[in-house]
A and B are shown apart, each in its own frame.
Chain A
Amino acid sequence: MNLIGSIIAISLLTLLALGISASRDLSGVLTAVVPYVAFAVFLCGFVYRILKWGSAPVPFRIPTTCGQAESLRWIRREPLENPAGAWSAAGRMALEVLLFRSLFRNTRVEIAGGRPVYGSAKWLWFFALLFHGSLLVIVLRHLRFFVEPIVPWVDALSALDGFFETGAPTLYLSDAGLLLALAFLFLRRVVVARLRYLSLFTDYFALLLIAGVAVTGLAMRHVFPADLNAVKTLTLGWATLSPAAAGETGILFSMHLCFVFTLMAWFPVSKLMHAGGVFLSPTRGQANDSRRRRHVNPWNAPVKVHTYEEYEDEFRDKMKAAGLPLEKE
């Protein structure tokens, strides 16, 4: 049901894009107003969510440790798995964000011969990394639409990305990587029964929306070439805050824009916010130093305790009988 729902949502979005591209007025809105609205929603929403999370206190140190703690001098410790200070905590976070360290640990389990058997399972790690890496490269490559002259490193990145020079125009590795990874992540959700069971509408919708962006983008590059001059005029207009009227950019471009702006506006209220939230995770970002350094809980709740005096008052006779020392005879 969730899968069907998200396919319907994507179809509606496509129809909307078709409708917009058929009307000159609506096209104007899509290319002149919506970009700013979507970007503003994205930026403000992102900042709002981060501030909202960040404003909640972290009363206790609760890092999940994944290796030997700093202990006796002669015991080898693992600072990147069990950080003892801020620097190693930062290193651990970098490993997590850049290399998806925790997913690399992934295992799978099956019952074989009457017992669970664990195996290495790096597929999710591989395709997740491929997906995010490709996405990053693609976003950076798009900078060439927004700056003039094009900064050299963007060109260099594009050249590197198209290193194998297959097809004309050259197929970018990141494009292929993104499609492959999207296909894996999507099929995994559909095929693996337990993942299908836990997946919500939003899980499919996120993947399909990004796939919509990617497919329309690739189609414009490889199948139905878009007028790049018209596109660049438009995007440069956005960047210089003087949106020009759209030239003949085509239906695919309208669809591409519709998907991209939907993605941007939806980003802050969706699970895609993990992009910012991961940095705030108390189990990953903190050092395991709560025995070494005092941490203060800003709201440390007062509680009713049972004092020694109350204890001795209740058990004095019994303590005396057992020959235990007393505060008051």
Chain B
Amino acid sequence: MSSLKIPKPDELIKIQYRPPKTAWQDTPVEFRPGTWSYAGAAKNLTALGLPNPRAWQPADLDWKLPPDWREIILEGMKERLEKYRSFRLFMDLCVRCGACADKCHFYIGTGDPKNMPVLRAELLRSVYRRYFTESGKRFGRLVGARDLTVDVLKEWFYYFYQCTECRRCSVFCPYGIDQAEITMMGRELLDLVGCNINWVVEPAANCFRTGNHLGIQPGGIKDMLEFLADDIEDRTGVRVDIPLNRKGAEILFVAPSGDYFADPGTYTCMGYLMLFHEIGLDYTMSTYASEGGNFGLFHSHEMVKRLNAKIYAEAKRLGVKWIIGGECGHMWRVVNQYMDTMNGPADFLEMPVSPITGTRFENARATKMVHIAEFTADLIGNGKLRLDPRRNDHLRVTFHDSCNPARAMGILEEPRHIIRSACNVFREMAEDTIREKTLCCGAGAGLGNEENFEMRMRGGMPRAMAVRDVVEKFGVNRLACMCAIDRVTLTSLMEYWVPQVSVMGVHELLANALVMKGEKERTTDLRGDPLSL
């Protein structure tokens, strides 16, 4: 957004943690440019059959809500209170101890008290109390209840689209109250009256129709992958196959589409292709299930299911035995927490067994879907790959635990094992900023758009500063991560806060070091940068 005035980093870091004079119930939301996202376009809502498609923007005075919007929301709330114990419990359980307050990257980066998870949740709780608890009906504000007004709805919109559902707060909460769950419910309720953002609706609409977020049609996918194969041949002298929609393959591989359409994810994708070629894996990719990511997660549980359904359907159609999934954040949140329950049982598939090492992936016994970091770490652990870590000697690497795999799954050691095997210089960031305490890129959950740039830089600031720390201490120049959204959004975050650092996927690092049969002498890495051998 060139017309937006973006503060310089040294201005932006001047954050005041002083709450405003007025109580939060009396402080209306201000849609300051650079801190919110454009409304979902009517054509995308229509494509998904979502309610109330219309032309509007959040900064408008009139949001063109349906006349009975309040009843719709309250009815939706009632339904969800009955369907999800998490929602019902998290509305009641909080004691407002404030342990979560300074854990949210948006609070750290803005100082806005409504970004403290406890208060962001109170935005919804106050309405819940007013309409669904006796004390709230009777005593109102005294017990923290308030009426559902248009201003409250606007506040929900602003702050529920200012939460990346990273779940960091949940780690510190004594009851495990998860703001991500509350944000998901808040967004579902907003969806019911047609209030959502385009960066969430458009990828979902595209994914529904074409199978991937960018709306790339089958030929486009093939072209892009062939193009990556050309690049691989150029760097290594080895021509890799691009199996697409191939029936009877042993394994279906599903990547986040960000990896084959956006730099620097493309290098990670080249890494996948090189690895599979080198070990001679019998696999295929699919144009129909050409997306691992699932923007349904930023909509509603129903949308998660609708978009996720393609993976099992395609595995069945192609007759594969099991599935590998690429480096993606919320894709794995969906696979781990929802896929089998929503779209299983995957009883037409077989127990995942690595054809190279014979390892049985017992932890994926039900879903039949293995994370590529598990798969590759197993290959390395069994000595099946020849790696020359010196080829990464021009890189000084640190690792960003992507929020979703870290806090929804606990995939922490596998990527580290790959990184340690593939490069000689690996430095961890500060203890309070990695593993389950990892900080968000600031733009997950569909907030990675340009009009929201200032908020992204604010939300990502804590992560960026942790990177800056290891840059100053250890001369780190490369940030590895395991998520396609990270690869895109951390790139602009680094450009803004720590320009000497660029971003890569773990399998790009691996592929740099991978010694392939029949390769020519490598003089550059996958990006064409000269090696310092």
Those of A70-90 within 8 Å (CB) of chain B: 70-72, 74-78, 81-82, 84
Question: In the assembled complex, which residues on chain B have CB atoms less than 8 Å from the CB atom of A321?
Answer: 219
Question: In the assembled complex, which residues on chain B have CB atoms less than 8 Å from the CB atom of A64?
Answer: 167, 170-171, 176, 178, 407-408, 436
Scan A316-329; emit 1 where CB is below 8 A from any B CB, else 0.
Answer: 00110111110100
Question: In the assembled complex, which residues on chain B have CB atoms less than 8 Å from the CB atom of A241?
Answer: none
Is B393 in contact with chain A by the CB < 8 A criterion? no
Those of A86-137 within 8 Å (CB) of chain B: 96, 100, 102-103, 105-109, 111, 114-116, 118, 124, 128
Q: A124-B97, A194-B98, A304-B49 in contact; A66/B171 too (CB < 8 A)?
A: yes
- Identify the closest chain A residue to B317 (Cβ): A308
Question: In the assembled complex, which residues on chain A have CB atoms less than 8 Å from the CB atom of B89?
Answer: 53, 56, 277, 280-282
* B96→A107 contact, CB < 8 A: no
* B365→A198 contact, CB < 8 A: no
Determine which of B135, B313, B337 lies in contact with A308 in the assembled complex, contact meaning CB atoms within 8 Å.
Answer: B313
* B175→A282 contact, CB < 8 A: no
Question: In the assembled complex, which residues on chain A have CB atoms less than 8 Å from the CB atom of B103?
Answer: 107
* B365→A116 contact, CB < 8 A: no
Is B344 in contact with chain A by the CB < 8 A criterion? yes
Interface centre among A52, A292, A307, A314 (most CB of B within 10 A): A292
Is B301 in contact with chain A by the CB < 8 A criterion? yes
Is B364 in contact with chain A by the CB < 8 A criterion? yes
Question: In the assembled complex, which residues on chain A have CB atoms less than 8 Å from the CB atom of B366?
Answer: 290-294
* B219→A299 contact, CB < 8 A: no
Determine which of A203, A288, A295, A319 lies in contact with B95 in the assembled complex, contact meaning CB atoms within 8 Å.
Answer: A203
Interface centre among B175, B338, B411 (most CB of A within 10 A): B175
Scan A16-57; emit 1 where CB is below 8 A from any B CB, else 0.
Answer: 000000000000000000000000000000000100111011
Is B262 in contact with chain A by the CB < 8 A criterion? no
Interface residues on A, range: 35 or more
In the complex, what's the smallest C-beta–C-beta distance from A231 to chain B, in angstroms? 32
Is B75 in contact with chain A by the CB < 8 A criterion? no
Those of B366-423 within 8 Å (CB) of chain A: 366-367, 369, 374, 377-378, 381, 406-414, 417
* A128→B97 contact, CB < 8 A: yes
Question: In the assembled complex, which residues on chain A have CB atoms less than 8 Å from the CB atom of B367?
Answer: 290-291
Determine which of B94, B119, B209, B246 lies in contact with A325 in the assembled complex, contact meaning CB atoms within 8 Å.
Answer: B246
Give how many A-B residue pairs fall within 8 Å (CB-CB).
Answer: 312
In the complex, what's the smallest C-beta–C-beta distance from B284 to chain A, in angstroms? 10
* A72→B95 contact, CB < 8 A: no
- Identify the closest chain A residue to B168 (Cβ): A64
Question: In the assembled complex, which residues on chain A have CB atoms less than 8 Å from the CB atom of B72?
Answer: none
Is A305 in contact with chain B by the CB < 8 A criterion? yes
Is B340 in contact with chain A by the CB < 8 A criterion? yes
Complex-state Cα separation, A304 to B309, whole angstroms: 10
Is B288 in contact with chain A by the CB < 8 A criterion? yes
Is B172 in contact with chain A by the CB < 8 A criterion? yes
Complex-state Cα separation, A207 to B335, whole angstroms: 43
Those of B69-108 within 8 Å (CB) of chain A: 81-89, 92-99, 101-103, 108
* B174→A70 contact, CB < 8 A: no
* A61→B209 contact, CB < 8 A: no
Is A222 in contact with chain B by the CB < 8 A criterion? no
Query: Could you say which of A140-148, A161-169, A248-256, A266-274 contacts chain B?
Result: A266-274
Determine which of A5, A53, A84 lies in contact with B88 in the assembled complex, contact meaning CB atoms within 8 Å.
Answer: A53
In the complex, what's the smallest C-beta–C-beta distance from B1 to chain A, in angstroms? 25
Query: Could you say which of B11-19, B51-59, B272-280 contacts chain A?
Result: B11-19
Complex-state Cα separation, A308 to B310, whole angstroms: 8
Is A150 in contact with chain B by the CB < 8 A criterion? no
Question: In the assembled complex, which residues on chain B have CB atoms less than 8 Å from the CB atom of A194?
Answer: 17, 19, 98, 101-102, 113, 116
Those of B411-446 within 8 Å (CB) of chain A: 411-414, 417, 430, 432-433, 435-437
* B408→A274 contact, CB < 8 A: no
Is B23 in contact with chain A by the CB < 8 A criterion? yes
* A277→B222 contact, CB < 8 A: no
Is B462 in contact with chain A by the CB < 8 A criterion? yes
* A284→B96 contact, CB < 8 A: no
* B306→A303 contact, CB < 8 A: yes
Is A67 in contact with chain B by the CB < 8 A criterion? yes
- Identify the closest chain B residue to A109 (Cβ): B102
* B219→A103 contact, CB < 8 A: no
Scan B131-145; emit 1 where CB is below 8 A from any A CB, else 0.
Answer: 001110000001110
Complex-state Cα separation, A233 to B468, whole angstroms: 69
Is B239 in contact with chain A by the CB < 8 A criterion? no
Complex-state Cα separation, A60 to B344, whole angstroms: 13
Question: In the assembled complex, which residues on chain A have CB atoms less than 8 Å from the CB atom of B88?
Answer: 52-53, 56
Question: In the assembled complex, which residues on chain A have CB atoms less than 8 Å from the CB atom of B411?
Answer: 69, 71
* A72→B217 contact, CB < 8 A: no
Question: In the assembled complex, which residues on chain B have CB atoms less than 8 Å from the CB atom of A53?
Answer: 85, 88-89, 92
Scan B318-354; emit 1 where CB is below 8 A from any A CB, else 0.
Answer: 0000000000000000011110111011000000000
Measuring CB to CB, which residues of chain A are less than 8 angstroms from any residue of chain B? Answer: 1, 5, 49, 52-54, 56-62, 64-72, 74-78, 81-82, 84, 96, 100, 102-103, 105-109, 111, 114-116, 118, 124, 128, 192-203, 269, 271, 273-274, 277-278, 280-284, 288, 290-297, 299-301, 303-308, 311-312, 314-315, 318-319, 321-325, 327
What are 12 A-B contacts with C-beta separation under 8 Å? A53-B88, A64-B170, A105-B172, A128-B174, A195-B98, A200-B143, A278-B175, A282-B89, A288-B409, A297-B341, A305-B313, A312-B288
> In the complex, given contacts A64-B408, A292-B365, what are 5 additional A-B residue pairs having Cβ atoms less than 8 angstroms apart?
A56-B82, A71-B413, A102-B174, A109-B102, A325-B247
